[in-house]
Structures are given as structure tokens and as C-alpha cells.
């Protein structure tokens, strides 16, 4: 079931619409945990892609292809080569996670990109199992409350001792890239869905 979670910033029943997309409601999130990210701002350069996880799992480099494509799409007016590299790096992490954690590998993953100047918002949605929601709920409670350097070291020690845990990618996005990140849980066509929204300003 979709969790009721305290801690961090939690909202319920948040409808997000985009008037420039003819008022299309592209996501309704029942629960949001994490940083506040304002999608009502004028993001004047948008891109939407959809891909099926099983088609990516059969050829893993397609994640990289998609991340590089989106970075190239915006590459014409990015402030630096480093900014292009950052867009690709961040998107690759978000899409890898969505493919790996997708519960139904035949249900498409949605990838939205919003750009306003040098500010980007990425929004990636995939199906999840109830177990994955529980895992993310636990990750959220640590991601938004613990010292992230210490959390990173704990995760590396877990890996070193073969106590594998997930979440390194999100820890790095939060810790190293200082991204605002939130997690939305919803129902999508009869499936449970996780939407990760992340914001970064590139230089």
C-alpha cells in the first residue's frame, strides 16, 4: 500500500498540471517525501521520453544512449561542456534506478525534463512493488536525516563486507550534486508507481 510517511517534507494528493501542455495532468502523486520542488514555474524547454525497461535490460548501454541524447538535446544552450556532462551523468543515474527498480518490466518508464535557463528538473516514473516502496521509505528516512558522508561510508562498508544495499546513486546526487530530490508514490493504471523528481542548476 502507499505509505503514510512522516519526516522530511510530505504532501498528499498533489496534482501537477502544465498549462502549456493543454492542461494535461501528467502525474497525480498521492504522497510526496523530500525536498519541495516547484513545477509551477515557467519551464520553457520541455522534453518527454518513454521507454520500456525490458528493452533496456536487454541492452544496458541504452540507458547511457538516452542520457546522452537528452544532454545533447539541451547542449546547444548549456553554459559549459561540464554542464552537458553533468546533465548526462545525473539522468543516467535516475534512469538506471528506474529500470532496475521497475516492478513490471513491460510497463514504460516516463522521463520528463524541464529547463528554465540553467535550471533543470528531471522527473522519472516507474512501476514498483510494495517491497520497493518500503525500501524507498527507509532510504528517504536516512537520506533526509543523516550525515550523508557518514551514510556513504556505511554503504561502502556494507558493500565491502558483501552486505549489499541500494541507494548509492541517490546518496551521491543528494550529497555531491546537492540536488533537491523528492519521491512521489501513486497508482498508475492499476500499478503502484514511484516518481523521482530532482532539480539541479548547472554552471
Partner 1 sequence: MDETGIIKNDNYSIQFLEKEHRIIFRGTMRLKDYEYRKTINTDLISLSSRLGDFIELDVSQLEYLNSCGIASLSVYLTQMKEFDTSIRIVGSNSISWQVMSLDNFPLCHDRVEIIMQ
The answer to whether 145 touches 56, Cβ cutoff 8 Å, is: no
Give the span between the Cα atoms of 186 and 1, in whole angstroms. 10
Return the residue of 13, 48, 54, 60 that touches partner 1, per CB under 8 A: 60
CB hemisphere CA count around 149 (13 angstroms): 0
Give, as ranges, the residues between 151 and 170 that touch partner 1 (CB under 8 A). Answer: 152-153, 155-157, 159-160, 164, 168-169
Using the minimum distance from each CB to partner 1, give the nearer residue, 55 or 149: 149
Least Cβ distance, residue 116 to partner 1 (angstroms): 20
Choose the binding region for partner 1 from 22-30, 101-109, 112-120, 145-153 (rule: CB under 8 A): 145-153
For the window 73-102, what string marks contact with partner 1 as x by the rule CB under 8 A? --------xx--xx-xx--xx--x------
Residue 38 in grid coordinates:
516547484
Candidates 63, 78, 151, 194; binder of partner 1 (CB under 8 A) is 63
- Angstrom distance (rounded) from CA 98 to CA 93: 9
Contact 102, 109 (CB under 8 A): yes
Amino acid at each position: 500500500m502507499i505509505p503514510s510517511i512522516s519526516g522530511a517534507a510530505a504532501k498528499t494528493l498533489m496534482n501537477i498540471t502544465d498549462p502549456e501542455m493543454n492542461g494535461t495532468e501528467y502525474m497525480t502523486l498521492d504522497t510526496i517525501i523530500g525536498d519541495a520542488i516547484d513545477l509551477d514555474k515557467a519551464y520553457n524547454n520541455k522534453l518527454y521520453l518513454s521507454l520500456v525497461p525490458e528493452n533496456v535490460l536487454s541492452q544496458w548501454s541504452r540507458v547511457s544512449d538516452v542520457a546522452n541524447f537528452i544532454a545533447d538535446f539541451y547542449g546547444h544552450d548549456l553554459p559549459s561542456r561540464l554542464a552537458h556532462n553533468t546533465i548526462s551523468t545525473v539522468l543516467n543515474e535516475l534512469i538506471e534506478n528506474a529500470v532496475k527498480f521497475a516492478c513490471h518490466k513491460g510497463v514504460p518508464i516516463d522521463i520528463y525534463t524541464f529547463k528554465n535557463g540553467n535550471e533543470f528538473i528531471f522527473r522519472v516514473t516507474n512501476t514498483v512493488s510494495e517491497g520497493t516502496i518500503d525500501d524507498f521509505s527507509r532510504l528517504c528516512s536516512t537520506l533526509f536525516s543523516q550525515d550523508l558522508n557518514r551514510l556513504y561510508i556505511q554503504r561502502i562498508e556494507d558493500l565491502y563486507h558483501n552486505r549489499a544495499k541500494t541507494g548509492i546513486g541517490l546518496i551521491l546526487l543528494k550529497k555531491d550534486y546537492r540536488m533537491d530530490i523528492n519521491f512521489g508514490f501513486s497508482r498508475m493504471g492499476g500499478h503502484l508507481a514511484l516518481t523521482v523528481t530532482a532539480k539541479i542548476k548547472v554552471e
